[in-house]
Amino acid sequence: MIFGCAKKASAIIACFLISFSFSLCYSQETGEPSSQEIIKEYREVLEVSEDPAEIAEAHYNVGYALEQLGRKTEATAEYLKIIVNYPQMDGPCKKAEKRLAGLYTGFREKSKELIGKREEIDRAKDPAIFFAYIKSLYESHRNSGRYDRAMHVLERLYDMDSENPSYLIDMGEIYLDGYNDADKAIFHFRKAIEAAPDNTKAYVDLGRAYEKKGDYGMAVKVYAKAAEISPASPWTIYGLRRIDGIRLSGEKRLIKDWYFAGPFDNFEREGLGTVFPPEEKIELDRTYSGKDGVPVRWVRSFDYDSSGYVDLNMLFKPNDYAVAYALTYAYSPGESELQFRFGSEDGIKIWVNEKEVFAYDATRSAELDDDVVTVKLKKGWNKILVKTTDTWGAWGFYFRVTDLKGAPVEDLIFDPTRDDQRRKFIYRKMLRQRRFKITKIATIYTIALSVFLLGLYFMISNIRDRIKITRMKEDFISSVSHELKTPIAAVKMLAETLKRGKVKGPVRVGQYHDMIIRESDRLTRFISKILDFAKIEKGGKIFYFEKEDMRNLAKSAVNIYRDETQDKDLKINFSAESDELFAEIDKDAILQVIINLMDNAYKYSDKEKEITVNVRNAGKNVCIDVADKGRGIAKGDIEKIFDKFYRADRDMVERIKGSGLGLAFVKSVIDGHGGRIAVESEVDKGTKFVISLPVKKA
């Protein structure tokens, strides 16, 4: 693009031709040494001299003479030779720059004027020389950190050729890399993009400027835009690599913890190779000596590239000379086989614990995982040394560590000696993990033990229950056989006495017959009690509901029980509401329930045998209370007495016969009626059972 401005270049040349003829005439008239003589004289000096001061001075004088002859372009070349080749000669450099500044002020206008006059031009020679020199002037300023001067040259170039966006890009780069002014850089790159929307380099530079600002989202967008415009451009590839880098460094997967050798006071770097890899212990800021006393100083990296790229340009100031050795230590909790994944623009050599594990010494683009090498780290501290190039000027490298499958390795500690905070953080993390492991194991053991103990508890209580049930069943069998045997024996004995004719008189015989009938009834009721219970248990008991006045039913139960008991010591009280109290019930079942309760009241009363049956209205329910003044039930037993086979007191069980089924039967029947049964009892004072059944309106 620089060479595309032939028109303007021709103007320069035309200008030069006119001035040349003018100055030639002038010098002939005065008789002083002519400019041409001066030029000749100093060119001779230039041929023989080796003294930089003399050479610079000669260039200046030749340039000045050429200027007098109007040969501006050639004069420019002479001035630029001083600036480019002898930047250390401050005086001549300044003088030359001053001449250059004078030469190109108002240059543009002059060119236009000349072009208007259609002067003869030499297209082939001068523009190329001029622009090449101007460009190298700018680069020399820039590379040696003289940003103001570089900017001055660029502005002049931009004045001459404002349609060329490359000057804007160059200016932006100086703002970005020289002045660290991301905003001004963004302004210039955006302006360049406006002028040339297809310029991928401008996009990539813009992305870099956003990265400097810390706006990674925008940076990624801009890089992606470059890829959209020109997917195969090397600048795009650079941008895509930055995207990868931003992502990986966002996930903290790139190692950025290095320190570097340098900078040096002189450029004598030969022999440095002999001191690398360096000795085991590195002290930062201490100067080590290489071969021939070349000083080596390890510096801590003070600035990381935002996308994780170890950027040596950012690390060392321009004009500092350094050897691009980078060192880090890694702590590995165990022996491990890992992968180093890296990319470098300058070739790379790697040592792990003094052993070379990788060497590739050619320049290429620094893709993220350009190279992958499998390495073994020993348990504890490992030294990782990277050499990117022989001298400063290397761009840098990416470096990350993964397991063999490419997953990041979390438990390595890098650069422990300097990064105490991180070391402590990872140590704490490892400690936590270890503690967690221990807690986990402890928890598992505790749970296992608890499960085992719980199982044991259930097993034991199961066995205990089984023993209890077995005992209750045994008690049941002995009770049942007693209940069966007693009436049968009585019936047998009464019948035999009658048969032998030992009972005299019809009254006595009648009494005997009554006794036989009573005993048979008792037997029948007992058997049907067991059968009924068995039926309820199996779920086969069917209730035949009919509406019944509960006062009558309770009264019948009382009468049946009184007849049956024939015990003069037993006192039975009956009371009921005056009004009818209907409920929908299975008559036989409820009759049996009341008789069971009365029988218990009788059985479990010792001295004072008194049963009170009361039928009363309780709102939506009709209640039948069966109360006694007997031995009562202990609190702990109350909730168990409705369980089948349960009998409260073992001592009592020996004396008072029973099956342990009576109350279980009562509860089943009441449940089957949608009613409730409650118990109030006090030991040695008495017990009251309360049956509640839903009222059925008359």
Contact footprint for ligand ADP (CB under 6 A): 600-601, 604, 628, 630-633, 641, 646-649, 658-664, 687
CA 605 from centre of chain: 74
Judged by beta carbon, residue 367 or residue 649, the one nearer ligand ADP is 649
| Residue 466, number of CB atoms within 10 A of its CB | 10
Tokens standing for residue 52? 């930089």
Q: Minimum Å distance from CB 669 to ligand ADP?
A: 13
Residue 418's φ and ψ, nearest 5 degrees, are -105, -25
Residue 452: CB minimum distance to ligand ADP, A:
37
Strands 571-576 and 610-618: parallel
- Report which of 350, 340, 659 is spatially closest to residue 529, judged by C-alpha positions: 659
For the record, the structure tokens of 386 come out as 């990277």
**Residues 151, 274: Cα–Cα separation, whole Å:** 42
- Tell me the DSSP string of 427-460: HHHHHHHHHHHHHHHHHHHHHHHHHHHHHHHHHH
Q: Which two three-digit tokens encode residue 478?
A: 């002995």
Residue 240 or 591 having the CB closest to ligand ADP: 591
Closest distance between ligand ADP and the C-beta of residue 556, in Å? 21
> Cβ of residue 588: shortest distance to ligand ADP, in angstroms?
18
Task: Find how far residue 156's CA is from the centre of its chain.
Answer: 55
**Nearest 5 degrees, angle CA 152-CA 154-CA 155?**
65
* Helix (H/G/I), strand (E/B), else coil: 570: coil
**From the CB of 468, what's the least distance to ligand ADP, in Å?**
14
Cis peptide before 87 (omega within 30 of 0): no
Cis omega (within 30 of 0) for bond into 277: yes
| CB of residue 607 to ligand ADP, shortest distance in Å | 14
Length of the chain: 698
Identity of the residue, 261 or 663, whose beta carbon is nearer to ligand ADP in the bound complex: 663
CB of 610 to ligand ADP, least distance (A): 12
Query: What's the closest the beta carbon of residue 664 comes to ligand ADP, in angstroms?
Result: 6
CB of 507 to ligand ADP, least distance (A): 36
Give DSSP secondary structure letters for 479-523: HHHHHHHHHHHHHHHHHHHHHTT---SHHHHHHHHHHHHHHHHHH
Give me the least distance between CB of 547 and ligand ADP, in Å please: 28
CB closer to ligand ADP out of 172 and 660 = 660
Cα–Cα distance, 564 to 556 (Å, whole number): 12
- Give the Cα separation of 562 and 595 in Å (integer): 10
d(CA 501, CA 561): 31
Nearer to ligand ADP, 120 or 684 (CB): 684
Residue type, 424: K
Residue whose CB is less far from ligand ADP, 344 or 605: 605
Residue 679 CB, shortest distance to ligand ADP, in Å, is 8
Q: Smallest Cα–Cα separation from 374: which of 346, 397, 342, 343?
A: 342
Start-to-end C-alpha separation, the chain: 116
Q: With respect to ligand ADP, which residue has the nearer C-beta, 630 or 675?
A: 630
Nearer Cβ to ligand ADP, position 127 or 662?
662
The two tokens of residue 603 are: 């059985």
- Shortest CB 477 distance to ligand ADP, Å: 13
Q: What is the DSSP string of 611-643?
A: EEEEEEEETTEEEEEEEE-SS---HHHHTTTTS
Nearer to ligand ADP, 207 or 662 (CB): 662
The smaller minimum CB distance to ligand ADP, of residues 242 and 667, is found at 667
**Quick one: 389 or 681, whose CB is closer to ligand ADP?**
681
Phi, psi (rounded to 5 degrees) for 122: -105, 100
417: helix, strand or coil: coil
Q: Output 600 or 692, the one with its CB closest to ligand ADP.
A: 600
Beta-carbon-side half-sphere exposure of residue 474 (alpha carbons within 13 Å): 8
Distances (CA, A) of 466 to 280, 373, 460, 470, 474: 76, 70, 10, 6, 12
Q: Which is nearer to ligand ADP, 169 or 626 (CB)?
A: 626
Name the token pair of 283. Answer: 């002290």
Least distance from C-beta 453 to ligand ADP, angstroms?
Answer: 33
Kindly tell me which of 67 and 628 has the beta carbon lying closer to ligand ADP: 628
Q: How far is the CB of 604 from ligand ADP (least distance, A)?
A: 3
* 257 closest CA partner among 377, 415, 402: 415
Between residues 230 and 612, which has the closer beta carbon with respect to ligand ADP? 612
CA distance 129 to 13: 11
User: For residues 103 and 679, which CB has a smaller minimum distance to ligand ADP in the complex?
Assistant: 679
Write down the least CB distance from residue 601 to ligand ADP, Å.
Answer: 5
Is 659:599 a contact under the CB 8 Å cutoff?
no
DSSP string covering 103-159: HHTTHHHHHHHHHHTT-----SSHHHHHHHHHHHHHHHHHHTT-HHHHHHHHHHHHH
Based on its alpha-carbon atoms, the radius of gyration of the chain, rounded to whole angstroms, reads 57
Of the two residues 73 and 600, which places its CB atom closer to ligand ADP in the complex?
Answer: 600
Distance, in Å, from the CA atom of 193 to the CA atom of 206, rounded to the nearest integer, reads: 9
- Minimum distance from CB of 656 to ligand ADP (Å)? 7
466, 467, 513: which is closest to 490 by C-alpha?
513
Q: Least distance (Å) from ligand ADP to the CB of residue 580?
A: 28
